Amino acid sequence: MSDTDVTPSTDTPTFDQFGLHADILKAITDSGYTTPTPIQAQAIPVVLAGRDVMGAAQTGTGKTASFSLPIIQRLLPQASTSASPARHPVRALILTPTRELADQVAANVQAYAKHTSLRSAVVFGGVDMNPQSAELRRGVEILIATPGRLLDHVQQKTANLGQVQMLVLDEADRMLDMGFLPDLQRILNLLPKERQTLLFSATFSGEIKKLAATYLRNPQTIEVARSNSTATNVTQVVYEVAEGDKTGAVVKLIRDRGLKQVIVFCNSKIGASRLARSLERDGVVATAIHGDRTQNERMQALDAFKRGEIEALVATDVAARGLDIVELPAVINFDLPWNPEDYVHRIGRTGRAGASGDALSLCSPNERKQLADIEKLIKRPLEVQHLHVDVPVRHHHEERGGRRERDERPARRRTAGAGGTFERPHHHRHAAPPVDDFFLKPYEPSPSTKKQDDAAVAPQKPASRQPLAALLGGLGMPRKTTST
């Protein structure tokens, strides 16, 4: 009996075994964590030891806590309750590729450090810089940022990176992409050479590993699952549909599965906005989130979706990285991503923290190459089914018709089967009233009107010119005499 009791405690790690401070353990308990995830169990001791780390794990497995908790632990000896900004320099820098991910990481860091005197702040673009500058001037030890806005603050001299001891690249595969590389190199040049660097992501290609090796010193690679793999608790299904039937397929999947909360991914910003409008017209409460919307609009849409006020959040890959939606039941790929790694991140929005989820993808005939690339990356074939779409939808070319076509388009009918009709619901419009056949007949004048027309055509005697002359002061009108 004693051997049975001892074995689970040895095999199952706990947060107490990491030597974390009591204030951090209290925050962990407040967050509802009981046991560390595999990536946390392996990464936290290595980060606490000061080693550089390359951590790869499936999305939704708690990578944020894997670097946040040891960072807070290592900074606690330098924590200060002084109000002086000089006592609160930036000692840890966490870079993220998207604004939404930066905001989410900042919320987690704030929750983990709430019982300590450490300060944290987040800066990202799309919002006013002045409040961010004021917070940075008061001093923060942990700074979460997107690269572009961080460089703006460096240029404005509101952020000093000369005392950074730890650097984290969250979603490192995207951070090291060519689009971020110039800004990242400028930031690295501002940091001290002696620092600890941590890279965490769900996917690592061979090229990314080679590039990351130039920034890290003797790093320890931690992979708790096969690289570029997807979670086993996410059911993945691919539906073959025609390109013009994709909107109807999304409506059908949402209705048939009773989905009250789903993220629908598109490859383009225009496509996301168009699909959100189409879903709204089909009775699905939807909104779009993409790079062309302001940051406030994006945050409001995301908050409303988390509260359950929006059924379908139509998004580009701006929402594919790191966003944590509690118990999200499903995601739908309206477009298969051009980059197969993005597929792993997209479907990682569901099935988080051990929960189950569905990843539903629509594949048109011209997307078969993208499907093959995805299967090659994840090293497994995906189940392909044919989806029959019987919900009439407006096609893309009708969406581009402009305001006049949208306002004046009549209600449309489509045969649903033998002897039956299906009328598309229009929750924004009322049904058109029946048209009286009287208004379709050609004009026929009434008898009275005809008599009046005949009388008008009959020849008339020439009228006397006297009235006209009278009007002009001519015949028949006495002339006024002027007195001298």
pLDDT of the chain along its 484 residues, tens only? Answer: 333 333 333 456 789 899 999 999 999 999 888 889 888 999 999 999 999 998 887 666 788 899 999 999 999 999 999 999 999 999 999 999 888 889 889 999 999 999 999 999 999 988 889 999 999 999 999 999 999 999 999 999 999 999 999 999 988 777 766 578 889 889 999 999 999 999 887 667 776 777 777 888 889 988 876 555 566 678 899 999 999 999 999 999 999 999 989 999 999 889 999 999 999 999 999 999 887 788 788 888 888 888 889 999 998 887 666 566 767 889 999 999 988 888 888 887 887 656 778 999 999 999 999 999 999 988 889 989 988 887 554 444 344 444 333 443 433 333 333 333 333 344 444 444 555 555 555 666 666 555 555 555 555 555 555 555 555 555 555 555 555 4
Closest CA to 25 of 120, 112, 117, 109: 112
State the pLDDT at residue 422.
34
For the four alpha carbons of 205, 208, 210 and 216, in that order, the dihedral sign comes to negative
State the pLDDT at residue 351.
72
Pairing relationship of beta strands 413-417 and 420-423 according to DSSP bridges: antiparallel
**The two structure tokens encoding residue 55:** 């951590």
Whole-structure pTM value:
0.62
Residues of the chain with CATH 3.40.50.300: 2-223, 234-423
Burial label, 173 (beta-carbon count in 10 A; 0-12, 13-18, 19+): buried
Distance of CA 415 to the CA centre of its chain: 36
CATH class in words for 234-423: alpha beta
Which residue is listed with tokens 């990356």?
377
- CA–CA gap between residue 154 and residue 167 (Å, rounded): 16
State the pLDDT at residue 173.
75
- CA–CA gap between residue 416 and residue 303 (Å, rounded): 38
Whole-number Cα distances in Å, 296 to 99, 100, 127:
11, 11, 7
Q: Within 13 Å and on the Cβ side, how many CA atoms surround 3?
A: 0
Contact 324, 352 (CB under 8 A): yes
- CA–CA gap between residue 255 and residue 278 (Å, rounded): 15
Q: Within 13 Å and on the Cβ side, how many CA atoms surround 324?
A: 19
Contact 121, 103 (CB under 8 A): no
CATH of 2-223 among 3.30.70.260, 3.40.50.300, 3.30.365.10, 1.10.3720.10:
3.40.50.300
The backbone torsions φ and ψ at residue 286, rounded to the nearest 5 degrees and listed phi first, read -140, 160
